[in-house]
Amino acid sequence: MARIVAVIASTHHPFYYRASTSTGADRPPFADEWTRKILAFRETLTRADPDVLVMVGSDHFHQLWLDNMPQFLVGKAPFYDANWYNEEREFGLPRMVLKGHEDLSAHLLRAGLDAGFDLAFSNELRIDHSITCPIITLRPEADLPIVPIYTNIFAPPLPQPSRFVKLGETIRKIVEDWPSDLRVAIIGTGHLSLELGGPRQFGPHGPDPEFDRRAVEWIATGDLDGCLREVTLDSLHAPGNATHGFMDFMLMMGVAGAGAKADHVDSLDLFHTMEAYFTWYPGGAPQ
Amino acid sequence: MSKYLMNKFLYTVDRDPELVERYRAEPRELVTWWAAERANSLLNCHSGEASTWLRFTDEEREALISQDHVRLFALGAHPFLTLTLFIAMFERDNTEPLEYQKAFGMRLAHFELPYPDIAT
């Protein structure tokens, strides 16, 4: 059976690419520290030596739209074009093409449907920065095949937080049952507190540093019970109007497992939002 | 109320560079044209089929024509769509980094939780 060699949860900050590649007067003062943290985070994936990446993210009204909005969608295609005109325009993100792993996509879809998740699928999916940001930070060679999984954290009505956790637990079991000798890393990105298009956006810190502190603690210690006790669809409005993206972190806590302490924990307090990076090694840290 | 249609406007204009420029320069012309020619286009569908019933209310049309992002927020337009398109139109006028983004937030400062409902 396949081996899950790393579980990784991260924020997906679209400004990292530009900040880390800019020079001279254009280089922001926080870029060097940010880059140092990303290089340490990248090493946690490199050490795990994966063959294929399951990538959990959320489409930002790029391909998925309100006329036909899936709650959970799995890509099944041999290739995925990536990044969109408005991401190039606003963030300077490069166009990319990533290979897909159709066998694992098919396995996830079949087993997911059989496990009670009526997953949507796409055979022609152009992915966005929720998945390309972790490629840029964690695997800039972009040389490994991926299976993209999109969640709806954006267009209400949304699934309940507990459903995200359950999907994460299910993804882990499905991948562990995949009849393959490949090494799989499961990577998901979301947000801590975040405000977009509202009065609390682009402040000197994230909109709710106290929520961020507690969120990092929940994730780092695998405190799913505590997290689920306090986080509801309603409560997530309070830390910032885009904070429902935290549910993708909860999904990744489900993948890592209740009580699983992260092997790598880091964060960076930036303007507008706090960055946070977590890696678990389910089979023990690589030697 | 047609939050869906406001969002559809913001979404389809934002992803088309030519429409972004037309909206910046000639908002009344662009909104009027879009309402007549594009509002009922079925997206993600082959051409030749359309809806028949989508219309802006007067208030929504005026909020879009006046590029009033505060009013759009109050009407429940999706704030991510509004922010992205308005940054595309107006960030270029910044005299310092994030100037437009911060001013955009400041103009919304009188809103308290719960914010206007964005569910469609």
Q: Which of A248, A234, A109 is nearest to A165 (CA)?
A: A248
B65 touches chain A (CB under 8 A): no
Tokens of A233: 């669809």
Rounded to two decimals, the ipTM of the complex is 0.95
pLDDT of A183 strictly over 60: yes
- CATH number at A193 reads 3.40.830.10
What 3-state class would DSSP assign to A93? coil
Residue A78 lies in a domain: yes
Residue A25 lies in a domain: yes
Residue A117 lies in a domain: yes
pTM over 0.90, yes/no: yes
Asked if B88 and A198 come within 8 Å (Cβ–Cβ), the reply is no
Residue A287 lies in a domain: no
What is the pairing mode between strands A274-280 and A3-11? antiparallel
Residue A77 lies in a domain: yes
Long-range contacts of B104-111 (CB under 8 A, 24+ apart): B104/A197, B104/A201, B104/B69, B105/A195, B105/A198, B105/A199, B105/A200, B105/A201, B105/A202, B105/A203, B106/A199, B107/B69, B107/B70, B108/A198, B108/A199, B108/B69, B108/B70, B108/B73, B109/A199, B110/A199, B111/A198, B111/A199, B111/B73, B111/B74
Asked if A202 and B120 come within 8 Å (Cβ–Cβ), the reply is no
> Residue B17 is nearest to which of A65, A85, A90, comparing CB atoms?
A85
Burial class (CB in 10 A: 0-12, 13-18, 19+), A26: exposed
Interval A159-179 mean pLDDT:
98
Asked if A196 and B83 come within 8 Å (Cβ–Cβ), the reply is yes
| Model pLDDT for residues A8-27, shown as the tens digit of each residue | 999 999 999 999 999 999 99
Burial class (CB in 10 A: 0-12, 13-18, 19+), A30: middle
Could you give the CA distance from residue B101 to residue A243 in angstroms, rounded to a whole number?
18
- Residue B2 confidence (pLDDT): 87
| Model pLDDT for residues A31-66, shown as the tens digit of each residue | 999 999 999 999 999 999 999 999 999 999 999 999
Q: Which residues contact B62 (CB under 8 A, 6 or more apart)?
A: B68
- Residue B1 confidence (pLDDT): 56
- Residue B46 confidence (pLDDT): 86
Residue A286 lies in a domain: no
User: Is the peptide bond prior to A29 cis by the omega test (within 30 degrees of 0)?
Assistant: no
Asked if A61 and B115 come within 8 Å (Cβ–Cβ), the reply is no
Encode chain B (120 residues) as per-residue pLDDT tens digits. Answer: 589 999 999 999 999 999 999 999 999 999 999 999 999 999 988 888 999 999 999 999 999 999 999 999 999 999 999 999 999 999 999 999 999 999 999 999 999 999 999 999
Give residue A49's domain range: 3-280
Instruction: Please check whether residue B47 is in contact with residue B89, taking contact to mean a CB–CB distance below 8 angstroms.
Output: no
Query: Which residue of chain A has the CA closest to B101?
Result: A202
| Model pLDDT for residues A61-85, shown as the tens digit of each residue | 999 999 999 999 999 999 999 999 9
Residue A285 lies in a domain: no
Interval A169-181 mean pLDDT:
98
| Model pLDDT for residues A218-261, shown as the tens digit of each residue | 999 999 999 999 999 999 999 999 999 999 999 999 999 999 99
- Residue A22 confidence (pLDDT): 96
> Residue B84 is nearest to which of A86, A202, A203, comparing CB atoms?
A86
- Residue B47 confidence (pLDDT): 85
Asked if A197 and B83 come within 8 Å (Cβ–Cβ), the reply is yes
> Residue A66 is nearest to which of B7, B102, B108, comparing CB atoms?
B7
Number of domains in chain A: 1
Query: Which residue of chain B has the CA closest to A197?
Result: B79
Residue A41 lies in a domain: yes
Query: How far are the Cα atoms of A195, A203, B23, B35 from residue B18, in angstroms, in the given order?
Result: 28, 31, 9, 17
